[in-house]
A and B are shown apart, each in its own frame.
Chain A
Amino acid sequence: DIQMTQSPASLSASLEEIVTITCQASQDIGNWLAWYQQKPGKSPQLLIHSATSLADGIPSRFSGSRSGTQYSLKISRLQVEDTGIYYCLQRYSNPWTFGGGTKLELK
């Protein structure tokens, strides 16, 4: 199975700060990587698909990048509504696997 190691597990940042979350894949998954945001009591919302493509309706302050088997989600200017838990998902091979999550809070 492909392991997705996500870091950090938690993060506290200030408004307007730049935030970066990473996922390290245990093997090559190409661009088959998605990022999600989950708010308390809600279902996950797709932010980024295909490693770097912004999902419909997602603000442009969110971006995704890839360097080899390391994937990053960047929030360029943190807003209040960006708090929540972020997950990555590899869609390269079955079983599809999620990262452990990053809890993002405002400082």
Chain B
Amino acid sequence: EVQLVESGGGLVQPGRSLKLSCAASGFTFSNYGMHWIRQAPTKGLEWVASISPSGGSTYYRDSVKGRFTISRDNAKSTLYLQMDSLRSEDTATYYCAKRFAYWGQGTLVTVSS
């Protein structure tokens, strides 16, 4: 059974950093591209970043380019999202997903002073 478990969310001040993790199990992690998607409170879904199976290729939405970094550790079957220079508009529940087919339960990031 595919399982994706996000962690690392919390309350953070504007301009600070946070690193999210997504622990994967139930499939061969190193064979699949992975994604981060977010959902602001009461809003719709928004793709954030993606990474290829090897980690050699990464993709970001324009609003997070230069501030967020997606990475993975295939030996640990874990996906990461390093978020720097956080803004209030980054407040959202962040989901990791395998091929957009399987999603984790999400972790809430709140950016506020």
- A: residues with CB less than 8 A from B are 34, 36, 38, 42-46, 49, 55, 87, 89, 91, 94-101
Alpha-carbon gap, A38 to B45, bound state (A): 10
Tell me how many residue pairs across A and B have CB atoms closer than 8 Å.
42
Whether B100 contacts A95 by the Cβ 8 Å rule is: no
Q: How large is the interface on B (under 10, 10 to 19, 20 to 34, 35 or more residues)?
A: 10 to 19
| Residues 50-83 of B at the A interface (beta carbon under 8 Å) | 50, 59, 61-62
Interface core residue of B59, B100, B105 (most chain A CB under 10 Å): B100
CB-CB contacts below 8 Å: B66-110 with A: 95, 100-106
How far, in angstroms, from A48 to B101 measured CA to CA in the complex? 10
Which residues of chain B have C-beta atoms less than 8 A from A36's C-beta?
Answer: 45
